[in-house]
């Protein structure tokens, strides 16, 4: 019997979209969390509403989990396709929960296959030398590798439930197949039922009838599994804990950071995977305030769904002019539309924040899948030269703190700030320590009030030593100012005079140098690992978790490494990075793109070239296993210069 | 002390072509502000790109010269963040109805309490006279290599279909009519748009000042020209919706009136309906403190920079371990 608490369990819910994969995973994750365990969940779905395949990985451990692994211990499938798609991922000793009625389904009769999948699957069968006709045949073959099948008669159990409830229409109950599969999963691993019931109540909220139906389904399947199956090698136990943890996804973390950071107006145009953030904010538009804010008559955040992303960025800039902290959230195609507006904000020195959720690109690319190919775009987007700050978060906690901090940078330096997140973080549900809002400090930079300008001439773009001109909210009584997208004088009126042009341009650009000097390096990079290690990994964004886990395993095997996680690629803390890389014999770039964009920027700024590249662009996040294997090859001097990672289904 | 016209002027040289209709629009805007006694710092004028777009630089109120076609998103963002601000959005016909047409339509749906002025001269002036979206099919203004191959959009009908609740037409050279219409638009409770017919003496040699005043149509009996523009209010037309049940009838009448062009061009208020809720009212229903404490006025931190927003309740909803026994 494998003690799951120690080794971890990787559970996968898989089924057609619309069949409750998400809610099953949500219940599973919460149930584990309620029992004191830690979870990391990864969601994969097609750009489709109903019918195409989707799955949710949940990795359960008794410590904080930062990344996914390649294997699946328990595949919890709702339909025949899910078995076929994922069977070869199930680890020896693992199991497959499946619909008993799906065993006779002929593999190549499944209607949702795409041609590339069929070709890949036939190749896989050929390489294994097997020729299964049906799902049952396939499972028998897997059994030879010690993968066990646990067939659950979903329809028969539903009929039983229907009879007990006096419900005549069975079709009304089929949406509970997910909870049957879930119940069987928990029965199989012998988990305590109480936290599962609690999770069902939490997920189905205020619908008592739905809750009681689902509790019935849970119990039936749980009992069926305990009664029928006794040979599964994993046991999942609850663990007592006092630590306060939350179960949260990246979009929610960023939203919470924005609220604490004082964002009061957010615009958005619907796009995957960014829209979840704005919707969560809108659900919570009326804000709770701290005791110290009793004098205020109430706080709120205004969420505007705009007609397009062009409106989204410009509306946010319009709001930011009035002194409100304002942001927009989007993904690659939306950001592409925003770039002219970004240029205006840069030229007019508007502190607007763009939360940029990267996904598979270019064009529509892989709209629901992972990608990290927009770093250079974020840094260079829009015509002309103007200062901006680009930040990128490496995990869900960073999403929270960075989202809050982005506004400080934007206001202090009066420039657009782009906060890069990626789909792997956006759609990962993780248990993590409760965020600590008291760690957030709000710095508004040189922000003037009515009293400051009373009886004085106000120049919005006053020339100063630092390049930063004191800012006044538009609408402040007692004076006026002008903004323009044209080059301008100190008052904000159009000016094409060459001397003014030279000075105003320089004034704007200088702010980036000030930001580079003032922002401490601790806010811009994280350093992990052994100071004197001879190998240094450089990365950004969501690969952080996989890299840290891989390094931990490698350290146990005696390989000493360190890791520079870049959180501010622009302006790049190049001196620091050059110093660390200068000591490294093996310099390794790990990125979710084809061209190693961060490595290119580092080479540009430090003239230091990386030695090895671990790159991935198949639309799936990096797993800690594949990063571990690739890094190990490098440490063993067996690696080519460039390794392409391909894990994921 | 009462404000004078001079208080709304800036020292920036007005660089429009001599005879440009923009001069009339600028004067009418300044005169309306004087008449309404609006403090300069309580007003913000937003503009797009094109000849019209320089207007904010000539008016001594907050002025935001934005991007081509994007006046409305900027104006809406500022207005909703600071709803006590009097916001005027000025746009060109190419700017507002071509590149910015999506914003024109979608802003209509929101009925935000602000005024939109469209300078309509049928051409893209600043790029030397290409056909704008309002130029009629087959018209060939002087810098066009060929006659206009597209039909012109009907801005009044488009505004109606989009949900503007005050829709009027005025004329850049009838400064008093224009000033009065601007005042009505500002006073209107909801989103107002004025289509301002404006000769472009440099590039539009068809819809000229003389054309509008009918110099080509001299009455043989009186010897006087027959103007093309006429005032709706003089014709007994009344576009104001006073009861909900007459909304459709007035809408239909306005749509019919909007078709008039050429020999007779109506000026004045085509349609006004203050019975429609404004966006601000719609938000206030969801966020009761919105108007007292809008985004721009909220304190977000204490004097030490500690955040004032509490996410305690939201974190509790997400909490999965460590519950109090």
Q: Give DSSP secondary structure letters for B51-97.
A: GGGGGGGGBSSEEEE--TT-HHHHHHHHHHHSTTSEEEEEEEHHIII
Q: Do B315 and A438 touch (CB under 8 A)?
A: no
Supply the DSSP string of A317-357, one letter for each residue. HHHHHTT-EEEEEEEHHHHHHHHHHHHHHHHHT--EEEEEE
Q: Cβ contacts of residue A122 below 8 Å, gap of 6+?
A: none
Q: Do A483 and B300 touch (CB under 8 A)?
A: no
Instruction: Supply the pLDDT for residue A294.
Output: 67
ipTM metric = 0.98
Instruction: Tell me if B76 is assigned to some domain.
Output: yes
Give the H/E segment covering residue A85. helix A80-86
CATH number of the domain that residue B76 is part of: 3.40.50.970
Nearest CB among A36, A293, A300 relative to B287 is that of A300
- Name which of A480, A486, A493, A495 to mutate to probe chain B: the one with the most chain B Cβ atoms within 10 A of its Cβ: A480
Q: Do A475 and B283 touch (CB under 8 A)?
A: no
d(CA A584, CA A471) in angstroms, rounded, equals 44
Residue A617, judged by CB atoms within 10 A of its CB (0-12, 13-18, 19+), counts as buried
Q: pLDDT tens digits for chain B (325 residues)?
A: 689 999 999 999 999 999 999 999 999 999 999 999 999 999 999 999 999 999 999 999 999 999 999 999 999 999 999 999 999 999 999 999 999 999 999 999 999 999 999 999 999 999 999 999 999 999 999 999 999 999 999 999 999 999 999 999 999 999 999 999 999 999 999 999 999 999 999 999 999 999 999 999 999 999 999 999 999 999 999 999 999 999 999 999 999 999 999 999 999 999 999 999 999 999 999 999 999 999 999 999 999 999 999 999 999 999 999 886 5
Q: A318 contacts in B (CB within 8 Å)?
A: 46, 64, 73-79, 81
Coil, helix or strand for B276? Answer: coil
Instruction: Tell me if B311 is assigned to some domain.
Output: no
As for how many domains chain B has, the answer is 1
Q: Where are the alpha helices (DSSP H) in A166-291?
A: 177-189, 193-204, 208-228, 250-260, 275-283
Instruction: Supply the pLDDT for residue B86.
Output: 98
The superfamily in CATH containing domain A2-235 is Pyruvate-ferredoxin oxidoreductase, PFOR, domain III (3.40.920.10)
CB B296 within 8 A of CB B302: no
Q: Do A252 and B318 touch (CB under 8 A)?
A: yes
CATH topology for the A248-439 domain: Rossmann fold (3.40.50)
- Name which of B287, B300, B302, B313 to mutate to probe chain A: the one with the most chain A Cβ atoms within 10 A of its Cβ: B300
Instruction: Tell me if B322 is assigned to some domain.
Output: no
CB A600 within 8 A of CB A618: no
Instruction: Tell me if B258 is assigned to some domain.
Output: yes
Is-same-fold flag (A248-439; A521-644)? Answer: yes
Q: Do A431 and B10 touch (CB under 8 A)?
A: no
Instruction: Supply the pLDDT for residue A219.
Output: 97
Instruction: Supply the pLDDT for residue B28.
Output: 98
Instruction: Supply the pLDDT for residue A171.
Output: 83
Q: A265 contacts in B (CB within 8 Å)?
A: 77, 80-81, 295
Kindly calculate the radius of gyration of chain A based on its CA atoms and give it in whole angstroms. Answer: 27
Number of cross-chain residue pairs from A and B with Cβ atoms under 8 Å apart: 270
- Give the distance from residue B232's alpha carbon to the nearest chain A alpha carbon, in angstroms: 34
- Give the distance from residue B117's alpha carbon to the nearest chain A alpha carbon, in angstroms: 18
CB B262 within 8 A of CB B229: no
Instruction: Supply the pLDDT for residue A293.
Output: 72
Q: Do B289 and A300 touch (CB under 8 A)?
A: yes
- Name which of A250, A253, A324 to mutate to probe chain B: the one with the most chain B Cβ atoms within 10 A of its Cβ: A324
Q: Do B311 and A260 touch (CB under 8 A)?
A: yes
Instruction: Tell me if B292 is assigned to some domain.
Output: no
Domain that holds residue B96: 5-282
Q: A36 contacts in B (CB within 8 Å)?
A: 321
Please state, in angstroms and as integers, the Cα–Cα distance from residue A505 to each residue in A467, A512, B183, following that order: 10, 12, 39
**Architecture in CATH for domain A521-644:** 3-Layer(aba) Sandwich (3.40)
- Mind listing the pLDDT tens digit for each residue in A490-534? 999 999 999 999 999 999 999 999 999 999 999 999 999 999 999
CB A648 within 8 A of CB A620: yes
Nearest CB among B296, B318, B319 relative to A475 is that of B296
Q: A311 contacts in B (CB within 8 Å)?
A: 70, 72-73, 76, 102-103, 106
Query: In this prediction, what percent of chain B has a pLDDT beyond 70?
Result: 99
Instruction: Tell me if B313 is assigned to some domain.
Output: no
Global pTM value: 0.97
Residues in chain A, overall count? 649
- Give the distance from residue B307's alpha carbon to the nearest chain A alpha carbon, in angstroms: 6
Q: Is the peptide bond before A269 cis (omega within 30 degrees of 0)?
A: no
User: Which residues sit opposite B240 in a β-bridge?
Assistant: B272
Nearest CB among A297, A404, A493 relative to B57 is that of A493
* Residue-range domain boundaries for chain A: 2-235, 248-439, 450-518, 521-644
Q: Cβ contacts of residue A252 below 8 Å, gap of 6+?
A: A276, A277, A280, B318
Residues of chain A with pLDDT under 70: 1-6, 294
């Amino acid at each position: 019997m494998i003690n799951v608490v120690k080794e971890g369990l990787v559970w996968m819910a898989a089924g057609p979209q619309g069949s409750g994969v998400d809610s099953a995973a949500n219940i599973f994750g919460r149930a584990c969390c309620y029992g004191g365990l830690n979870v990391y969940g990864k969601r994969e779905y097609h750009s489709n509403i109903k019918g195409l395949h989707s799955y949710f990985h949940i990795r359960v451990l008794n410590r904080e989990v930062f990344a996914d692994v390649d294997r699946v211990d328990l595949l919890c499938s709702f339909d025949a396709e899910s078995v076929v798609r994922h069977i070869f991922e199930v680890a020896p000793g693992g199991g497959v929960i499946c619909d008993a009625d799906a065993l006779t389904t002929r593999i190549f009769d499944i209607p949702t296959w795409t041609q590339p999948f069929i070709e890949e699957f036939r190749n896989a069968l050929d390489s294994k030398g097997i020729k299964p006709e049906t799902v049952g045949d396939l499972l028998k073959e897997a059994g030879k590798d010690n993968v066990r099948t646990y067939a659950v008669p979903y329809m028969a159990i539903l009929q039983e439930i229907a009879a007990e409830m006096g419900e005549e229409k069975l079709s009304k109950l089929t949406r509970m197949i997910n909870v049957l599969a879930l119940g069987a999963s928990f029965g199989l691993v012998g988990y305590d039922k109480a936290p599962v019931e609690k999770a069902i109540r939490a997920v189905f909220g205020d619908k008592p009838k739905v809750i009681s139906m689902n509790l019935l389904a849970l119990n039936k399947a749980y009992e069926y599994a305990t009664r029928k199956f006794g040979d599964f090698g994993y046991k999942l136990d609850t663990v007592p804990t006092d630590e306060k943890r939350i179960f949260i996804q990246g979009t929610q973390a960023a939203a919470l950071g924005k609220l604490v950071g004082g964002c009061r107006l957010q615009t958005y145009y619907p796009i995957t995977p960014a829209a979840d953030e704005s919707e969560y904010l809108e659900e919570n538009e009326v804000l709770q305030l701290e005791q110290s804010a009793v004098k205020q008559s109430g706080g709120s955040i205004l969420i505007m769904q705009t007609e397009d992303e062009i409106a989204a960025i410009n509306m946010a800039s319009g709001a930011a002019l009035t002194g409100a902290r304002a942001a927009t959230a989007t993904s690659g195609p939306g950001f592409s539309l925003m770039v002219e507006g970004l240029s205006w904000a840069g030229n007019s020195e508007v502190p607007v924040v763009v939360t940029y959720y990267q996904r598979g690109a270019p064009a529509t690319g892989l709209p629901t899948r992972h990608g990290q190919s927009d770093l250079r775009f974020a840094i260079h987007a829009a015509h002309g030269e103007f200062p901006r700050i680009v930040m990128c978060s490496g995990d869900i906690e960073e999403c929270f703190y960075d989202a809050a901090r982005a506004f400080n940078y934007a206001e202090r330096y009066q420039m657009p700030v782009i906060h890069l997140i990626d789909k792997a973080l956006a759609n990962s549900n993780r248990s993590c320590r409760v965020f600590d809002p008291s760690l957030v400090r709000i710095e508004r930079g040189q922000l003037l009030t009515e009293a400051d300008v009373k009886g004085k001439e106000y120049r919005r773009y006053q020339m100063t030593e630092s390049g930063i001109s004191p800012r006044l909210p538009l609408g402040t009584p007692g004076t006026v100012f002008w903004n323009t997208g044209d080059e301008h004088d100190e008052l904000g009126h159009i000016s094409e005079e060459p001397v003014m042009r030279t000075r105003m341009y320089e004034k704007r650009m200088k702010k980036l140098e000030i930001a580079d000097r003032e922002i401490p390096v601790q806010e811009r990079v994280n350093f992990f690992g052994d100071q004197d290690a001879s190998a240094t990994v450089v990365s950004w964004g969501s690969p952080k978790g996989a890299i840290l886990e891989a390094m931990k395993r490698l350290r146990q095997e005696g390989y000493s490494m360190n890791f520079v996680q870049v959180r501010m690629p622009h302006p790049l803390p190049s001196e620091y990075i050059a110093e660390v890389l200068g000591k490294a014999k093996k310099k390794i770039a790990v990125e979710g793109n084809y061209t190693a964009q961060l490595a290119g920027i580092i080479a540009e700024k430090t003239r230091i070239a990386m030695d090895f590249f671990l790159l991935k662009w198949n639309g799936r996040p990096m797993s800690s296993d594949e990063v571990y294997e690739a890094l190990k090859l490098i440490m063993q001097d067996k690696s080519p210069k460039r390794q392409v990672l391909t894990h994921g289904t | 002390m009462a404000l004078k016209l001079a208080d709304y002027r800036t020292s920036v040289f007005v660089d429009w072509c001599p005879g440009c209709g923009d001069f009339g629009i600028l004067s009418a805007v300044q005169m309306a502000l004087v008449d309404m006694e609006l403090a300069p710092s309580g007003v913000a004028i937003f503009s797009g790109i094109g000849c019209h777009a320089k207007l904010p630089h000539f008016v001594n109120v907050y002025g935001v010269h934005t991007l081509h076609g994007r006046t409305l998103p900027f104006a809406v963002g500022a207005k909703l963040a600071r709803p006590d601000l009097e916001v005027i959005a000025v746009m060109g016909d190419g700017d507002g109805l071509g590149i910015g047409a999506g914003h024109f339509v979608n802003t209509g749906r929101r009925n935000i309490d602000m005024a939109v002025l469209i300078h309509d001269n049928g051409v893209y002036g600043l790029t030397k006279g290409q056909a704008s979206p309002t130029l009629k099919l087959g018209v060939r203004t002087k810098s066009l290599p060929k006659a206009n191959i597209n039909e012109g959009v009907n801005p009044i009908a488009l505004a109606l279909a989009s949900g503007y609740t005050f829709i009027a037409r005025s004329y850049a050279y009838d400064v008093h009519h224009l000033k009065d219409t601007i005042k009505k638009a500002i006073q209107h409770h909801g989103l107002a748009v004025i289509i301002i017919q404006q000769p472009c003496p440099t590039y539009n040699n068809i819809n000229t000042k003389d054309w509008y005043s009918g110099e080509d149509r001299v009455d043989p009996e009186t010897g006087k020209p027959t103007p093309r523009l006429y005032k709706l209010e003089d014709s007994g037309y009344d576009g104001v919706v006073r009861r909900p049940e007459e909304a459709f009838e007035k809408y239909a009448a306005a749509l019919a009136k909007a078709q008039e062009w050429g020999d007779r061009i109506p000026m004045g208020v085509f349609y006004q309906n203050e019975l429609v809720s404004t966006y601000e009212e719609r938000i206030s229903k969801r966020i009761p403190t919105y108007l007292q404490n809008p985004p721009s006025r909220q304190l977000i931190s204490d004097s030490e920079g500690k955040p004032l927003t509490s996410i305690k309740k939201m974190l509790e909803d997400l909490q999965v371990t460590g519950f109090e026994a």
